Amino acid sequence: MKKKILIIQHHRKFGGASKSISEFILKLKSEFEFDVICPSGTTSDFFKNKKINIYKFLGVPSYDITEIGSYTGLRKILLIREIFYFFIFLLTVFKIKKKYDIIHLNDTNLIILAPFLKFIFKANIICHVRTRVNITKVSTLIYYISKKYIDKFICIDKSTFSTSPNKKKSIIIYNIFDNKKNKKKYLKKNKKKFRIGFLGSLDFHKGLDFYFDCISEINKKTNNFIFIIGGSLSVPNKFLLNILEIFRIKKNFNRIYYDFKNKKYTNVKFLNNVSNLNKFYKQIDLICFPSRMNALGRPIIEAASNGIPSLVCLDKYFNDTIVDKKTGYVLKFGNKKSFIQKLYNLSKNKKKLHQLGINAKKNYYLRHNLIKNTNKLSKVYNSIL
């Protein structure tokens, strides 16, 4: 009989965490029976389209313990929403009569739910560590829950492992990307113009205000670059975003986005949501991830699988998903001069760019090997009694 696993996902808007867990679900569905709890939205639509059974909730409560989140000042208002979601969540989850062997929390921000889920389902609990945890923010309560109620932490790389709430219970299982449609070897591109890509949600945390400034500076001096930007605004509702900014809950990135878009650069292409990833990566020579989040996004893995090197911003850096100067380059966030200069250098040195792409693809097969990482997760599920 298959083990029954319940995945808890709190993001309403589809993103990297949902995509990453879905890759594992689709590869392991012949071994295990999966269900997903998630809020109604693009995330639930995605799982439904993948024919993964879902329970749609009004909301899933979370408590942010990552390095990029905080509850200071007026942001404490967010806790009211989480408390509301918490009671709705409990009332709804009690209606689920199915028994599960494992509850899989898809983010450390869901740790706070572990005692309640353990009481309701009497199941073992696994937690994914997808973003660096702010160790100074982790309370005694979170450490207690991690020790008593979490059976295993799954870290996506060495960086997240270094901040895991309980290293003794932690294991690194790298994210996977099923790139079976692209078996061709990396081909050296001979285009006259240097094509730079970005893929992800368009928001302040992704560092796009910094990226837009760099593009503007480059366009003052040359027209030999093409910038291809894939993704949609994380909060498209202007009225809601203005309210969030007033209460200092979220910065109004949309204003920055439209100011930049109104400059109407002919060498900047906005693609909105990208459904065909292989087609996107065939259009670019380099992927940029100028994030404030101090974390590597899925585009780095996806690009590497296509033989595309990366230019990323990180403060704390480990050689695994990206290897500095070998599969791409790692820079400190906010150093506009270094960022622009690196783009110039790569645009002029196609031989170096080509070698970085070859190395990136080799590293992808080494670290993010689909079979190896899927088997590791399978063993974790089977080892927990």
Are residues 117 and 245 both part of a single domain? no
Q: What is the mean pLDDT of residues 307-335?
A: 93
As a whole number, the mean pLDDT across the chain is: 90
* 322 and 376 inside one domain: no
Mean pLDDT of 38-56: 94
Q: Is 376 in the same domain as 356? A: no
149 domain-assigned: yes
Q: What is the pLDDT of residues 132-157, one digit of tens each?
A: 998 877 788 899 999 999 999 999 99
> What is the count of structural domains for the chain?
2
Residues 90 and 239 in one domain: no
Q: How confident is the model at residue 316 (pLDDT cuts 50, 70, 90)?
A: confident
φ/ψ of 323, rounded to 5, equals -115, 110
Q: What is the pLDDT of residue 53?
A: 95
Supply the DSSP symbol for 345.
H
Would you say residue 206 lies in a domain? yes
Same domain, 165 and 201: no
Tell me the per-residue pLDDT of 180-195, one tens digit each, with 9 for 90 and over: 655 544 444 546 799 9
Q: Which long-range contacts (CB under 8 A, 24 or more apart) does 369-378 make?
A: 369/174, 369/176, 370/27, 370/176, 370/177, 370/178, 373/173, 373/174, 373/175, 373/176, 374/24, 374/27, 374/28, 374/176, 376/171, 376/173, 377/24, 377/28, 377/154, 377/173, 378/28, 378/31, 378/32
115 and 199 part of one domain: no
For the chain, the distance separating the N- and C-terminal CA atoms, rounded to the nearest angstrom, is 14
Within-domain flag for 188:
no
pLDDT digits (tens, 9 = 90+) for 188-246: 454 679 999 999 988 888 999 999 999 999 999 998 999 999 988 876 556 555 665 55
Q: Write down the pLDDT at residue 182.
A: 56
3-state secondary structure of 233: strand
**Within this chain, do residues 155 and 241 fall inside the same structural domain, yes or no?**
no
Q: Are residues 266 and 160 in the same domain?
A: no
Domain for residue 186, yes or no?
no
pLDDT tens, 161-182? 999 999 999 999 999 998 765 5
14/163 same-domain check: yes
Given a contact cutoff of 8 angstroms between Cβ atoms, the answer to whether 4 and 99 are in contact is: yes
Task: Determine, yes or no, domain membership for 64.
Answer: yes
pLDDT score recorded for residue 45 = 94
Q: Is the residue at 187 inside a domain?
A: no
Asked if the structure places residue 184 within a domain, the reply is no
What's the CATH number where 130 sits?
3.40.50.2000
Residues 211 and 150 in one domain: no
Bigger pLDDT: 183 or 373? 373
- Domain assignment present for residue 181? The answer is no
Residue 154: domain span: 3-176+369-383
Tell whether 253 and 296 lie within a shared domain: yes
Reply yes or no on whether the pLDDT at 79 is more than 80: yes
Per-residue DSSP letters for 48-66? HHTT-EEEEES-------B
Q: What is the pLDDT of residue 90?
A: 93
Query: What is the distance between the alpha carbons of residues 276 and 278, in angstroms, rounded to a whole number?
Result: 6
Position 275 pLDDT exceeds 90: no
Mean pLDDT of 123-138: 90
Express the helix, strand and coil content of the chain in percent, nearest 5 each.
Answer: 45, 20, 40
Q: Are residues 41 and 72 in the same domain?
A: yes
pLDDT number for residue 204? 86
Q: Kindly give, in sequence order, each residue whose CB lies less than 8 Å from that of residue 130, ignoring residues fewer than 6 positions away.
A: 16, 17, 20, 106, 107, 108, 156, 160, 295
